Structures are given as structure tokens and as C-alpha cells.
Amino acid sequence: MLRNKGLVNNFDLVEDISDTASEVIHGGATRTFDNPVTDSGKRLDYCLTWGQNCGFDVAKAYCRTKGYKILVEERIETNLRNTEGLDGWVCDAGDNFANCDAFDFIVCGT
């Protein structure tokens, strides 16, 4: 497995998004991203950095990069062969399918 332990260069995105879905419940628009991918077309890794800041923070940052203000829901998919973090680092598990995790879906809202 090879991973680039690069620093997150868009951490400000994580702090900028509301932690509540109340705006969505009260009529805001939502969009579901099934099997979300990075700009290079690889599945979005579940962590911002190698095994750290996983799940919620990544999904919030992803919503922000797509122009949405809040994260509504997200779900993990485990044991994938190849994923990529928001800042370009790559998880490549080769043939063992053991260590790369990505999002099954992310629901973002306005």
C-alpha cells in the first residue's frame, strides 16, 4: 500500500460548514453524490490524511468543494483497491483490498 502523507491544503473548508442539517429540513436543496470521486476521477478516500480526520470532516469539505454549505448524511464503503484524498494523496491497496476506504454516498445541502 502506498499513501502520500501530504498536508490538507483546504482545511478551512472543514471549519466553514454548519454541523447541522436544520436548513435542509426547513426547505433547503440537497444533492446526493453516489460513489463520490476526486477531480482526477478516483473514489474519494474516507480520511483527510492517513488514517486521521476521517468521515464527517471529509464529507463536509467535499460538500463545500461542490458549492454546498452543509453535510446532511454520509456512509462509508470499506476495503476498496484504490482511493484518493481531497488533497491528492493516494491509497493503493494492490490486490489485498484491505486498507482503502471511501464514501458510498455523501448528501449535501444548501
Phi, psi torsion values for 9, nearest 5 degrees = -100, 5
Q: Please say if the pLDDT value at position 79 is more than 50.
A: yes
Q: Residue 90's domain spans which residues? A: 11-109
Choose among 89, 101, 93: nearest CA to 6.
Answer: 89
Domain presence at residue 3: no
Supply the pLDDT for residue 13. Answer: 40
Domain presence at residue 86: yes
Domain presence at residue 22: yes
What percent of the chain is modeled with pLDDT above 90?
52
Report the predicted TM-score, pTM, of the whole model to 2 decimal places: 0.72
Domain presence at residue 6: no
pLDDT grade, residue 64 (50/70/90)?
Answer: very high
Domain presence at residue 1: no
Helices H / strands E in the chain, number of each: 3, 7
- How many domains is the chain built from? 1
Q: Please say if the pLDDT value at position 95 is more than 90.
A: no
Q: What angle do CA 106, 109, 110 make, to 5 degrees?
A: 155
pLDDT grade, residue 87 (50/70/90)?
Answer: confident
Domain presence at residue 5: no
Choose among 28, 4, 1: nearest CA to 17.
Answer: 28
Domain presence at residue 90: yes
Domain presence at residue 32: yes
